[in-house]
Structure formats: structure tokens, C-alpha cells
Amino acid sequence: MSGSEARKIRLLMELRRNGVIDTRVLSAVERVPREFFVPQPFLDRAYDNTALPIGHGQTVSQPMIVALMTQALAVKDKMKVLEIGTGSGYQTCVLARLCRRVYTIERHRPLLREAEARFHQLRIHNVTAIVGDGMRGWPDQAPFDRIIVTAAAEDVPSTLVDQLAVGGIMVLPVGKSGRPDQQVVRLTKTDDGLIPENLFPVRFVPLVAGLPG
């Protein structure tokens, strides 16, 4: 067993101990090689349970947060999922192992190009990606069965709620950037409105409207 494989096993055991019990999610995390998604200087930390910088002020999220948010999303294999914030593409690839198609939006063009190269290299073909303003969502492809946002919104964006199917679930961090009271929230959309649940505290970069200047 290589050192990388041993570190991956330790990480999976840590995820299980901390509440990731969905076997489909654990299998998806196991099948996505995180070393593909971290810069060269951090390769030896690819399976540490920590966020790592990827440039442009962004990070590849902590594996625990990726797994817990994915578990909360309750993705089924025939679903259409919208991801706001492609970043390195790590969360995207985990989702792609679980659903029919992922539509993902990234506001930093260089990050999206790198992520798309990784999708190609890993032969992941059920991802459609664009550069765009995540706050606007992807109305042409709505409605979505699931929506996940990987940056913190001060308030739940109404545009994304509008693009969520009735019966659908959205998982996102809510709270001001840098504040210790950010919470991952799960919203279930019903005919009568939204059912919110606070899940766990996090600290994410802010969800920003528009594209970089």
C-alpha cells in the first residue's frame, strides 16, 4: 500500500467517526483522487482533513465539509444538481459520482479551465461547466433537484430558490464572511415555502455577485 493510499484510508475512517455514514458518499470520496485538485506544494497534504489554497483567494474545501454537505444534499443517481463555485472541481467530481448530471458555475475563468482539464483527465463526462455569476444561478437549465453553494451567502439568494424544484434540497453556508457564526443550512422546498435546518458551523469565503474585474 502506498503512503497516499494509507492517508486516504485514514481520512475515510476520520469521516466515518465524525458522522459521514452515507456509504454512497464515502465511496464517492474514496474514488475521487484529491491529489489531482491541490497545487504541487501541497501534494503531501492532499489527504489531510483541511482546506488548502488553490489561488485567486479560493480554497479546495476540507474533505469533512465536502462529505457532510454532500450527505446533507441526499443526492440520488437520476438527479440534476447545480453547484455554485466550481473551484478546483473536487466537490464537483464527488457529486458527479452520485447523480445524473452536475451543472457547475465558477466566476474565476482560470480555475474553471483547470477544473475542466481535471474532469477530462479523470474521464468524468456528466459535468457541464460555465464561467458566470453564481448568484444568478443557471435559469436556462432550471429547475434543479439539488443545489449546493460552496461560498457563504449573507442571505439565501432568492434567484437560486426560484431555480430549485419543489421537493428539492439546497445546501449552503449562510453568514457574513470571516464571522464565526456561519452555518451550513439545508433548505427543503415545498409547495408552501422553504423548510430550513441549521446543520453545523463552518467558515467559507464569501459568495460574491458578478465576475472578477
Whether 61 sits among the annotated catalytic residues: the reply is: yes
Domains of the chain in start order, with CATH, are: 64-201 (3.40.50.150)
What average pLDDT does the segment 121-141 reach?
96
What average pLDDT does the segment 69-74 reach?
98
Q: What is the pLDDT of residues 162-209, one digit of tens each?
A: 999 999 999 999 997 666 679 999 999 999 999 999 999 988 888 888
For the chain, percent of residues with pLDDT exceeding 70: 97
The values of phi and psi at residue 134, to 5°, are: -60, -25
What average pLDDT does the segment 105-132 reach?
96
Say what the pLDDT of residue 213 is.
59
Say what the pLDDT of residue 64 is.
96
Say what the pLDDT of residue 211 is.
80
**Full-prediction pTM beyond 0.75?**
yes
- The catalytic position among 2, 61, 158, 177 is 61
Q: Kindly provide the b/e burial profile for residues 135-150, where b requires at least 16 CB atoms within 10 angstroms of the residue's own CB.
A: bebbeeebbbbbbbbb
Q: Does residue 212 have a pLDDT over 80?
A: no
Hey, is 208 helix, strand or coil?
A: coil
Going across the sheet that includes 183-190, the strands are 127-131, 101-106, 80-84, 144-149, 164-174, 183-190, 193-201
Q: What is the pLDDT of residues 172-184, one digit of tens each?
A: 999 976 666 799 9
Q: Does residue 139 have a pLDDT over 70?
A: yes
Say what the pLDDT of residue 3 is.
72
What average pLDDT does the segment 96-119 reach?
97
